[in-house]
Amino acid sequence: MTRVTELTIRRPDDWHAHLRDGAMLRAVAEWTARDFGRAIVMPNVVPPVTTVAAADDYRRRVLDALPAGSAFEPLMTLYLTESTTPEEIDRAASSGFVKAVKLFPAGATTNSENGVRDIERVMPVLERMAVAGMVLSVHGEVADPGVDVFDREAAFIDLVLDPLRRRLPELRIVLEHVTSAYGVGYVLSAGRNLAASITPHHLVLTRSHILSGGLHPHYYCLPVAKGPEDRRAVRRAAVSGDPRFFFGSDSAPHLDAAKERATGSAGIFNAPTALACVAQVFEEEGRLDKLETFVALSGPAFYNLLASSSRITLRRREQPVAIPDRIMTADGPVTVFDPGFPLHWRVEVPDGQDEKTF
């Protein structure tokens, strides 16, 4: 069989990205905008984006941080708190630029302190979202310190997500960054109102990457990578072509100084390598024919948006492509996700444009 070395697909989107703010935003925005046409921009900046007015301001800051001429479209999200009102959901639904509301269980991850402690208190808002057709994007982990960190996704499904879906089956939910065989199985068992995003790093890493051969802070994120059976299930779901599983990078930059300390922050910055990494996984699995579905078709379909009308060409280079080890921000360096194997796929740059060099 001849090897596929060129693939033209609709321009991919990233259905879960942390672009941050200030100096970090200015350093990372171009990396997401390089390969992706749109991204669902997570609202856990400081202070969190809790209103449509704040989302509009943040959207402008993102647009300002893009390279001149970029056609990248940020799709905004609201950070759900116990004070969010149903009227704010109506404003979000009619804004045209807010595409989801994000539920962070309070204390589950980076900047989640203002998140939800008691789901009961947000039920009126979730009911309004179900009526408005607004997507609920969930960080699917319980924050209970009594639950083992590797079991927090499963516990969230049993204790929060499943009861919620039974109460409000019309609510459209994305279980973000699914990491476990249990989570994948749960999505498969559900109807079409539940989907899951999948990150490049959870297609590649297991907990051994974090914990053996020295401690690897740049492989630490939440939900934490799990065991080989879990990774297998996540890979199988990604390459299956099932429209309920789509790409969301969860690119989550932190300064190296914040990662490489006693209590290192959770989050992997993968925007520069995400697409190449996913392409390589699909190649390894012999499913390059499903890559477009995963990165460019299933996400927009779930969000009731059209797939991109533009196309990109991915080319497989014989020699590994050059990837920066880290990028620089005004506040210090940020290490780029290294999957631990050479990357060969690269988006072809149209004639006349400069190829990004490092």
Q: Which residues bind ligand NCD (CB under 6 A)?
A: 18, 44, 109-110, 139, 221-222, 250, 252, 266-267
Q: Which is nearer to ligand NCD, 230 or 250 (CB)?
A: 250
Nearest to 342 by CA among 265, 261, 271, 284: 284
Euclidean distance between CA atoms 210 and 224, whole angstroms: 9
Longest dimension (CA), the chain: 58
Q: Nearest distance from residue 157's CB to ligand NCD, in Å? A: 16
Cβ-closest residue to ligand NCD?
267
Partner that binds at residue 109, options ligand NCD, Zn ion, none, CB closer than 5 to 8 Å by kind: ligand NCD
Q: Does 14 bind Zn ion (CB under 5 A)?
A: no
Residue 200 near which of Zn ion, ligand NCD, none (CB within 5-8 Å, type-dependent): none
> Measured in whole angstroms, how far is the alpha carbon of residue 14 from the centre of its chain?
6
Using the minimum distance from each CB to ligand NCD, give the nearer residue, 44 or 298.
44
250 counts as binding Zn ion under rule CB under 5 A: yes
Kindly give, in sequence order, each residue whose CB lies less than 8 Å from that of residue 267, ignoring residues fewer than 6 positions away.
Answer: 18, 110, 221, 222, 250, 252, 253, 254, 259
Place of tokens 């039974």: 166
For Zn ion, the nearest residue by Cβ is 250
CB of 18 to Zn ion, least distance (A): 6
CA 78, CA 134: separation in Å to the nearest integer? 11
The reply on whether position 141 binds Zn ion by CB under 5 A is no
Which of the ranges 29-37, 51-59, 245-253, 296-304 carries the binding residues for Zn ion, by CB under 5 A? 245-253
Choose the contact partner of 267 out of ligand NCD, Zn ion, none; CB within 5 to 8 A by kind: ligand NCD
Q: How far is the CB of 62 from ligand NCD (least distance, A)?
A: 15
44 binds, among ligand NCD, Zn ion, none (CB under 5 to 8 A by kind): ligand NCD
Burial class from Cβ neighbours inside 10 Å (0-12, 13-18, 19+) for residue 183 reads buried
Using CA atoms, how far apart are residues 140 and 190, in angstroms rounded to an integer? Answer: 15
Catalytic residue from among 14, 230, 250, 256: 250
End-to-end CA distance of the chain: 34
Sign (positive or negative) of CA dihedral 24, 30, 36, 38:
positive
CB 311 to ligand NCD: min, Å: 29
When CB distances are held under 5 to 8 angstroms depending on the partner's kind, the choice from ligand NCD, Zn ion, none that residue 11 binds is none
C-alpha separations of 97 from 21, 93, 205, 315 in Å: 18, 8, 33, 33
Residue 112 or 298: which CB sits closer to Zn ion? 112
Residues near 349 by beta carbon (within 8 Å), at least 6 away in sequence: 355, 356
* Min separation Cβ 349 and Zn ion, Å: 28
Residue 115 or 300: which CB sits closer to ligand NCD?
115
**250: annotated active-site residue:** yes
Half-sphere exposure of 282 (CA within 13 A, CB side): 28
Active-site residues, by number, are 250
Binding site for Zn ion (CB under 5 A): 250
